Structure 1
Amino acid sequence: MADFLQIQGVSKSFGPFQAVRDVTLSVAQGEIFSLLGGSGCGKTTLLRMLAGFEDPTAGRIFLDGRDMAGVPPWARPVHMMFQSYALFPHMTVEANISYGLKHDALTPAQRRDRVREMLDLVQLTPTATRKPHQISGGQRQRVALARALARQPKLLLLDEPLAALDKKLREHTQFELMSIQARTGVTFIVVTHDQEEAMTLSDRIAVMDRGQVQQVGSPTEIYEYPVNRFVASFIGAITSFDAEVVARDAGFLTLHVPDFGGQVTTREADFAPGTRVTLALRPEKLVISKDRPPGNAVQGVVKDLAYFGKDSLYRITLASGALVQAHAVNQARGAAMVADWDDQVWLSFQPSAAIVLGG
């Protein structure tokens, strides 16, 4: 797909504070692209520049081949859906959706047809005559989405679109958003601090920290192949250890890991012997057992455990004092826990499960 949105070297400063630093991104038409990061990372400032509410201090933004410099928000083929939804409480669902169309060159009949189309799209036709306080939070979210899509924008910007919903409704609405986007073909840019939301919704994700993009990739690439310690630790749970490359041979690295009191084998990475690196392990990649398994293994004591139904989380203290998290899937109903508090256990992992990072 051709680049539909191009962000070229964009920076934004507020006095001495630089909120966005030299960001370059390309987004394809029809993508759901997420800007993911913690509070203050610059993701919302970048979104506001795309909407035209802020002007870049440096750099350029192109949308569908057109330079957005000097183009005011109302003249851009862009709509922004705010976290609060900003619905008019005194208007019906139908009137809220219709409101954004009043300045468009549509006849009353065309406007009614467009509103009906949007109500059908978001499956809210039965609620058309209700007011926002008479519908659920998830339905209000869909009203705001329908109002945004009614003007047929080329680009829809969503600022923390699901933050006001409870966990179960948020998970359900994520799939509704994906379905609606697939049916309309509109390009979505989603700002979120919720890594699970970004992983579920997105075709690609840009992970941001302190105004800069740290990595861009698919959810699988971001999770399985992080480029640095920040991305590895921000996306999902992970435990990191200092290590040193001992040997590199036949597609494998041999690492000395002081916290393990010995060596482990990982898949090959571009590090020469003698290089200091970070060994990172995801909890679900670790296998807990009472007996020592072959291959990469380290012994520890169960310090804490938590039962979540579908799986259990173990926090295990190694002899070095390092604390490691491991997940065990509860496959059988009512099955005994893999281990209990204060049990001595072994943690093992496959060479391909380890992430090796510089530094």
Structure 2
Amino acid sequence: MADDAFLRIEGVSKTFGSFQAVRDVSLSVSRGEIFALLGGSGCGKTTLLRMLAGFEKPSTGRIYLDGKDMAGVPPWERPVHMMFQSYALFPHMTVEANIAYGLKHEAISKTDRAARVREMLDLVQLTPFAARKPHQISGGQRQRVALARALARQPKLLLLDEPLAALDKKLREHTQFELMSIQERTGVTFIVVTHDQEEAMTLADRIAVMDRGEVRQVGSPTEIYEFPTNRFVASFIGSITSFEAEVRGRTDGLLRLHIPDFGTEVLARDVPSVGEGQKVTLALRPEKIVISKLPAPGTNAVEGVVKDLAYFGKDSLYRITLPSGALVQAHAVNARRGDEGARVADWDDRVWLSFDPASAIVLEA
């Protein structure tokens, strides 16, 4: 772990009675980074966030912020602000008053306080709505009021607990980019807790995927999606189809794998740590699989029958049954405008599936 990390979490665990919510978590976050804690309900991500805020004390381990040990530092003395999922705005106060409330106990003059509030209103583009109350603005605008109130105190670290969960899909997508723009302009370090994979992939510079209190993998969105290090991360992020496989050797720098469900061998990107005869898992993402009615050339090809088909507009999802009975999911982009004629295949069609060896994910654990 880098010594110059802005936030360092070292061996942190949290136990509630006999239940261990967080297990020996160690992470480092750089200054000005958007870092996401991603996982399902009960994985420990919110508990970890509350320990960063000072609302919970670690059972073991240490948390360092900007070089200072946070042990014994109460929440109100930490250069940290937490933005809650509910936004916690005061309904009887105006937008301007809600933002100013965060500065109530700051040792600054009335003039400076007013200037800070104006600055925050400009930052989140809500100056025209300063005199309105929360029920008179949209959900996305309420989210920005909560963000402005949090940033008004000029925290070194901003903690966001499911910040976009209350917004509809389109507004959530739009607000993600607004959040990124505001973070870039302020330079404040963001820690975002979310269960939404797309949200984490869009917002974060790096992601920590959590499961049952443990961090299973840390990396950039590309690393997490394209190069998962274990079955949990591979299956949690995006869609994937997994098959039991056995390593048969190496050919031209590629792994040769026997796939019982395929009834044949395939080639995959080499994983130096695996050896001949080792049992592994082959994982394939639907968008990496090419579906065609014509026989596919090369080693990595298998024939099947279309069992199910879902049309999503921009693309279609096919569920193909192999002769072994195994199911494979494949995506195909609907590049041509039209209805049935634009699809690659239809129900009960016999098709060929193929994939590039570089697209195949080989997992040991």
Q: TM-score, normalised by structure 1?
A: 0.99
Partner of 1:45: 47
Partner of 2:290: 287
Partner of 2:126: 124
Matched, 1:349 2:360: no
Q: Distance in 2 between matches of 1:263 and 1:322?
A: 16
Q: Which moved more, 1:4-13 or 1:321-330?
A: 321-330
Partner of 1:322: 326
Q: CA deviation at 1:347?
A: 0.6
Matched, 1:339 2:354: no
Partner of residue 155 from structure 2, selected from 144, 153, 156: 153
Stretches (4+) displaced over 6 A = none
Equivalent residue pairs, number:
359
| Seq. identity, % | 80
Question: Does the 8 Å contact 2:335/2:342 carry over to 1?
Answer: no
Partner of 2:221: 219
Partner of 2:281: 278
Q: Distance in 2 between matches of 1:122 and 1:307?
A: 38
**Match of 2:6, SS?**
strand
Q: Distance in 1 between matches of 2:342 and 2:196?
A: 33
Q: CA deviation at 1:187?
A: 0.1
**Match of 2:199, SS?**
helix
Q: CA deviation at 1:340?
A: 0.3
Q: Distance in 1 between matches of 2:342 and 2:160?
A: 44
Letter in 2 for 1:66: K
Q: CA deviation at 1:329?
A: 0.5
Question: Does the 8 Å contact 2:93/2:133 carry over to 1?
Answer: yes
Q: C-alpha root-mean-square deviation of aligned residues, in Å?
A: 0.8
Q: TM-score, normalised by structure 2?
A: 0.97
Question: Does the 8 Å contact 1:20/1:42 carry over to 2?
Answer: yes
Partner of 1:108: 110
Q: CA deviation at 1:331?
A: 1.1
Question: Does the 8 Å contact 1:248/1:272 carry over to 2?
Answer: no
**Match of 1:198, SS?**
helix
For structure 1, the 5+ residue unaligned runs are none
Matched, 1:55 2:61: no
Q: CA deviation at 1:289?
A: 0.4
Q: CA deviation at 1:106?
A: 1.1
* 1:73-222 equivalence runs, <5 A: 73-222=75-224
Q: CA deviation at 1:267?
A: 1.3
**Match of 1:293, SS?**
coil
**Match of 1:162, SS?**
coil
Q: CA deviation at 1:249?
A: 3.4
Q: CA deviation at 1:250?
A: 2.8
Question: Does the 8 Å contact 2:96/2:117 carry over to 1?
Answer: yes
Partner of residue 315 from structure 2, selected from 311, 317, 326: 311
Post-superposition CA distance 1:242-298 (Å, at most 9, x none): 000001233100000000011001111121110000000000000000111112111
